[in-house]
C-alpha cells in the first residue's frame, strides 16, 4: 500500500571588495571614520520594490516575491545553467566544481523583470530565472512543503470516502494510475480492487508503479502462518501497530499487500497514519518529538530458521525530518 527593468548595469572594476555603493566624500579636516563602501539596495525600478539586490564581499542578497535570499558567489557560479556548464539532456553539471575560484566575485550584475544576469571575471555570463532562485534558495526551501499530505485518523479517513481504483482502469489508463498515486501520496495508503488473486498479477500491478526492490525475502513472496521464516508475521499471532523494514539502511517506501486466499477467522488489517501520530506528539510534547527525531537508534532483524540466516542492522532516528524546514518524511 502503499525585478521591472533594472535602470542601471553595475560595472565593478577588478574584484569587488565589501558591499556595493558610492564612496562617501571626505572633507578637509574631517576626522570622522568613513566606510570604504556603503551598502545599498538596487531595485529593478525606482517605484518598485518587487525585486532588489545588494552585493557583499562573498555573497549576493536578493529580495524577490517577499523572500530575502542569500546566495554565495561560489554557489551561483557552480550552479550556472549555461550550455557550457550544464547538460540539459542528462540534467547533470558539466562545469568542474573544483575549477571555481573560492574567492570568485561577479564583475557585473543586472536584473530584469524575470532574470538575474551575472558576468564573471572571465567574461562568462550566468542567467538565473528569479522564480528558479526562490525555489532553489535555502530561504525558499524553508517555506516549501516537499510532500503535501492529508493527516488522518479513523474518523477523518472514513469521512473522506477515498475511492478505490479498479484494476483495469489502473493498468490501462493514465487517469486510473493518477487517481491511485494521488490517493497514495496524500494519504499514504491506496487500494486497487478486482485484482486477480495470483502473485503474478500482483507483480504486474506493482510494476505499474515502480521497480520492485530485491530483499532478503525476494522480490515478491508469500507469507502465511507456517513459521517458515523467523518472523512473527509468519505465525498466527496478531500484529499490533508497527513499521516494517526499519532494519534496512533505506526502509521501503511502498509496500504492496494482496490477500490471495483467506480461510477461517481473523486476519484483519490494521492501518495507522504514523504522520498523524507524529503531529500529535509535536503538538503535545515537542521536546519528545525532538528527541525522537535527533537520537539515532539501532534497528535489527535477526533470523536463524531453517536455511535462512540473516542479521540486518539499520541505524537512524525514529522520526526523520528535513533539516531545512523540519518536515517529517520517514518513520522507522
Residue 311 vs residue 9, higher pLDDT: 311
Task: State in Å, rounded, how far the first CA of the chain is from the last one.
Answer: 16
Same domain, 116 and 159: no
Mean pLDDT of 112-122: 94
Q: Are strands 319-321 and 92-93 parallel, antiparallel or unpaired?
A: unpaired
Whether the full predicted model's pTM is greater than 0.75, yes or no, is no
Q: Which residue has the higher pLDDT, 77 or 6?
A: 77
pLDDT at position 51, please?
86
Tell whether 297 and 175 lie within a shared domain.
yes
Domain-located, residue 148: no
Which has the minimum average pLDDT: 20-29, 148-157, 317-326? 20-29
Task: With beta carbons less than 8 A apart as the criterion, state whether 17 and 39 touch.
Answer: no
Does residue 180 lie within any of the structural domains?
yes
Per-residue model confidence as pLDDT tens digits over 165-208? 999 999 999 999 999 999 999 999 999 999 999 999 999 999 99
What pLDDT, on the 0 to 100 scale, is given for residue 209? Answer: 93
pLDDT at 266 over 70: yes
User: Do 201 and 85 lie in a common domain?
Assistant: no
Average pLDDT over residues 240-253: 88
- Does any domain span residue 149? no
Domain closes at, from 142, 167, 194: 142
In a domain, 209, yes or no: yes
Residue 115's alpha-carbon distances to 41, 59, 326, in angstroms, are 17, 18, 30
pLDDT > 70 in the chain, percent: 85
Average pLDDT over residues 208-233: 82
Within a domain: residue 1? no
pLDDT digits (tens, 9 = 90+) for 291-310: 999 999 999 999 888 888 89
Task: Tell whether 177 and 309 lie within a shared domain.
Answer: yes
Whether residues 160 and 305 share a domain: the answer is yes
Site of grid cell 518587487: 50
Q: How many CA atoms lie within 13 A of 32 on its CB side?
A: 8
Is 101 contained in some domain? yes
Within a domain: residue 147? no
User: Residue 44: what pLDDT?
Assistant: 56
By the 8 A CB rule, do 195 and 260 touch?
no
Any idea how long the chain is? 332
pLDDT value at 111 more than 70: yes
Contact status, residue 123 vs residue 111, Cβ threshold 8 Å:
no
Residues 210, 83 share a domain: no
What is the domain-level CATH number for residue 63? 3.30.2020.30
Q: Over the chain, what is the mean pLDDT? A: 83
Kindly state whether residues 160 and 265 are assigned to the same domain.
Answer: yes
Q: How confident is the model at residue 42 (pLDDT cuts 50, 70, 90)?
A: low
> Domain containing 125: what range?
10-142
**Mean pLDDT computed over 139-153:** 87
**For residue 220, what is the domain's CATH number?**
3.60.130.10
Residues 57, 167 share a domain = no
Sort residue 188 into left (φ over 0), alpha (ψ -120 to 50) or beta.
left
Distance of CA 44 to the CA centre of its chain: 32
Q: Give 319's contacts (C-beta < 8 A, 6+ positions apart).
A: 278, 289, 292, 293, 328, 330, 331
Examine the domain organization and report whether 174 and 316 are in the same domain: yes
Instruction: Select from 142, 165, 194 the last residue of a domain.
Output: 142
Q: For residues 108 and 162, state if they share a domain.
A: no
**Which range among 49-58, 74-83, 274-283, 310-319 shows the weakest confidence by mean pLDDT?**
49-58
| 184 lies in the same domain as 304 | yes
Do the strands 328-331 and 319-321 form a parallel or antiparallel pair, or are they unpaired? Answer: antiparallel
What pLDDT, on a 0 to 100 scale, did the predictor assign at position 41?
61
> Considering the domain boundaries, does residue 3 fall inside one?
no
Same domain as 260, residue 119: no
pLDDT at 118: 97
How many structural domains is the chain composed of? Answer: 2
Amino acid at each position: 500500500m502503499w525585478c521591472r527593468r533594472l535602470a542601471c548595469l553595475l560595472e565593478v572594476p577588478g574584484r569587488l571588495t565589501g558591499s556595493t555603493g558610492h564612496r562617501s566624500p571626505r572633507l578637509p579636516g574631517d576626522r570622522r571614520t568613513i566606510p570604504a563602501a556603503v551598502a545599498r539596495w538596487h531595485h529593478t525600478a525606482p517605484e518598485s520594490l518587487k525585486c532588489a539586490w545588494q552585493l557583499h564581499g562573498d555573497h549576493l542578497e536578493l529580495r524577490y516575491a517577499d523572500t530575502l535570499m542569500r546566495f554565495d558567489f561560489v554557489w551561483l557560479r557552480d550552479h550556472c545553467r549555461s550550455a557550457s556548464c550544464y547538460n540539459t539532456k542528462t540534467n547533470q553539471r558539466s562545469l568542474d566544481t573544483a575549477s571555481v575560484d573560492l574567492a570568485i566575485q561577479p564583475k557585473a550584475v543586472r536584473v530584469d523583470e524575470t532574470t538575474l544576469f551575472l558576468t564573471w571575471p572571465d567574461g562568462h555570463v550566468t542567467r538565473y530565472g528569479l522564480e528558479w532562485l526562490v525555489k532553489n534558495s535555502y530561504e525558499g526551501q524553508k517555506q516549501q512543503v516537499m510532500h503535501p499530505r492529508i493527516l488522518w485518523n479513523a474518523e477523518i479517513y472514513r469521512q473522506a470516502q477515498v475511492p478505490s481504483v479498479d484494476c483495469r482502469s489502473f493498468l490501462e489508463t493514465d487517469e486510473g494510475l493518477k487517481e491511485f498515486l494521488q490517493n497514495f501520496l496524500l494519504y499514504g495508503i491506496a487500494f486497487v480492487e478486482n485484482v486477480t488473486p495470483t502473485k503474478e498479477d500482483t507483480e504486474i500491478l506493482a510494476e505499474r508503479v515502480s521497480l520492485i526492490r530485491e530483499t532478503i525475502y525476494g522480490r515478491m513472496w508469500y507469507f502465511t502462518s507456517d513459521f517458515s521464516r523467523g518472523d512473527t508475521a509468519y505465525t498466527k499471532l496478531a500484529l499490533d501497530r508497527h513499521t516494517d523494514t526499519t532494519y534496512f539502511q533505506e526502509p521501503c517506501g511502498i509496500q504492496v499487500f494482496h490477500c490471495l486466499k483467506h480461510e477461517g477467522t481473523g486476519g484483519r488489517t490494521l492501518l495507522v497514519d504514523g504522520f498523524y501520530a507524529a503531529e500529535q506528539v509535536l503538538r503535545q510534547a515537542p521536546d519528545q518529538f525532538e528527541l525522537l527525531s535527533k537520537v539515532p537508534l539501532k534497528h535489527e532483524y535477526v533470523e536463524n530458521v531453517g536455511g535462512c540466516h540473516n542479521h540486518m542492522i539499520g541505524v537512524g532516528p525514529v522520526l526523520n525530518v528535513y533539516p531545512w524546514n523540519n518536515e517529517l518524511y520517514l518513520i522507522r
